[in-house]
Structure 1
C-alpha cells in the first residue's frame, strides 16, 4: 500500500506565526484563469471572494486547483456569511484559511471557530473522502486538520470595533481583518474611507491588536496607505481588487489614446 500523503501546510498561517508581512490581492472575477494569473504574479495570498460579486461556492474548487501550482501563494476564501454549512463545504474543498465577514461579537467569533473544528471541539461535519484530505490519503486528517486551518474574522462596524479585544481574544481566532469600506459606512461616512474619523479608527484598531498580540490585516488600494498600515504593524495587506485593476488599466489606456490619438 502507498505511503500516506502529507497534510498540506498552510503557508498563510505559517507567515502569521513568523511575523512576516504578507502582501495580498483580491480575486472577485469568476474563473480559475484569473485566480491562477494572480497567484502567478507572486502575491503571498489571494482572497477568493464569494461575499461580494458573482463568485459562488462552486467557483472556489477550480480556483483552489488553479492556485495549487504556485506554492508561494496561499489562497484565502471569504464565505458570504458566517455559516457552518458554507464553512463545511469550503473546508472540504481544501480551503485552509477562511476570512469571515461581519463579525460583531465574541459569540459570533466563537461560532466561526466551532464551524472550523471537528467534534468534540467543534461542529464541522465529517466526511472521509474530500479534496481537503487528499481524498482520504492524508493519514489521520480529521485529527490533524485543525493545526493547518486558519480563521480570520472581519471587523467592519462600529459595534465590532467597540468589541475588538473581545472578538480578537476568542481562542481559535488567528487574525482580524479590518473592513474599511463597511467600517466607513458604519461610522457615518459611506464611500469616504479617507475621512479622518475612519482613518483614526483603523489606525487605532491596529494599535489595539498589536497590544494584545493578534495579527491584523486590511485591504488598502492606495499604495501610500498600504505602506502606512504596514508601518503600523499590519501583518497582511491586500493591495487591489482584480476588477478594479482591470477597469483602471482599461480607462488609462483609452484616456491616453483619446488625449493623444497620433
Structure 2
C-alpha cells in the first residue's frame, strides 16, 4: 500500500484506555473476519500502540499473542529519578520501548503497510500534534501513551510531548481531514460504576483521567454524529474492566472486543455492497 496516499475512505480510529486497549485486539480480529477493509489508521494513547502494530502489518493472531504475553513489568518500570522529582513521572516505559524495538517489524512511517497518524500533545504549544507520513515510529508512539505526571514527557523536535488523549483522544477530525467518509472504532474508556473506595493518589488520578476521557469522547461523538459523519461504533459492556495498568484481564477483554464487534458490525459488510445492476432481458440470474 502507498503510505503517501493523501485520502482514505474508511479509517480505524483507535483511542486511549490503557490496558483496556486489549479490546482493540478483539475489535481488529472481528473486522478482519467480517471482511471490512480500511485505508487509514489513526491512534491516540494506547490506540497509537495498537494502530502502529496494525499499520505495520501485524495479524490479529500476532497482536493477540503479543498482548496476552504482556505483564505490567513488560510495559512499565519505576522511574526512581521521577520519584525524587527530577523528571516528569514516577513510571518509565523503558521495558515497553525495549519490547517494541524487538517486536515492531518496521521502524519508520515510510515503511508501514497502511497509512498511520499518531496523536500526541505538545506541552509547549498546548496543542495536539499529528505524526504521519515520515519519521521514526517509537518516539511518538511512546509519547502518545505518556500520561502527564505518571510518565515523563518525550522530547520530539525540541518540544515535550505527552499523552495524545489530553487534547485529542478520539481524533475524528484528523481522520476526516485525511478524506475518511466512514470511521470504525471501539470505545475503551467506558466507565461503569466502581463502588471500590480509592485511596492511593495514583489510582485516584488514573480513574479521574479515565472519566475525563470518556466524557470528552461522548461529547465528540455526539458532535460529529450531528454533522452526519458515518461513525460505526462498538461501545462494550463490562462490569469490571480493570485499571489503566491492569494486565490481568487481557484475554477476557480481547474476547469482549471481538464478540461485541461481531454483534455490532455483522450487517456492515452487506450494507457496503452496492446494489447489483439489473441484468438485460433474457440473461439468466
Instruction: Assess same fold via TM > 0.5.
Output: no
Instruction: Normalising by structure 2, report the TM-score.
Output: 0.28
Q: Relative contact order: is structure 1 or structure 2 higher (C-alpha 8 Å, sep ≥ 6)?
A: 2
